[in-house]
Structure 1
Amino acid sequence: MQKLAAPATAMEVRLAYARVSSRTQEIQSQIDALEASGVHRLFQEQISTRVRERPEMKAALAAAREYRSLGAKVTLVVHEMKRLGRGALELLKVAEELRDTEIELEFLTGPLAGKHDPAGHGAALFAFFAAMA
């Protein structure tokens, strides 16, 4: 876990999550893109998608919930959708958790590139792409 610059305002926090599945994959390009997007805190791990429990993802979501409970607007930033999860059920579970805690999601690349409010208009589009994953 890396800590980056302090938030620009006390009311907005951008958290990032980077993941690769194997030791042969490089993670630095994800990290560079996430840092360039202005995130305040970065969580990263090398862990197979077959592993159900991802400690750094769990920590990122816990931090997001904590910042949200303090009244901050929170955005979870990932490089692309497949970094968040591989299957539709996993992606929908994450989307549901983000929606329930009012945490926005931002993809830097891919068909859903941009910021999405899981409780807003982006919910149906996110569900569609998650089903196609």
Structure 2
Amino acid sequence: MKRLLMIAGTALIAFTAQASAEGDPAKGEKVFRKCAACHAVGEDAKNKVGPQLNGVVGRAWGTIEGYKYSPSLMEGAGEGRVWDVETLDAYLLKPRDVIPKGRMAFAGLRKDEDRADVIAYLSQYSVDGTTN
């Protein structure tokens, strides 16, 4: 039964990642410029002040090698939290509401459309940084 639930959960994550197509990736690329000082995405992405974001949509919290996450984020990782579309949307709106003692100093993106566009943009990148 646990295995069946795990498979169903994985399928849901994959479906949720595809659902982010509501936004416009081209517009999201422009909005992402606000994030680019601290985060990278794409084939040559490396960790900066924040972790690189290739494959972030649907990824478990705290899993980028070589990046030192905050204790608060790692607590969520221990609970099995995942960067699904809903969580990313909430985090991009108000990071401190999702990870109260997190390190990200960014105030958030207030416009629903901007958040949807950024998530659509990030959804294009697989774990290796190539576009899907």
The two structures have a TM-score, normalised by structure 2, of 0.29
The two structures have a TM-score, normalised by structure 1, of 0.29
Structure with the larger strand share: 1
Highest relative contact order (Cα 8 Å, sep 6+), 1 or 2?
2
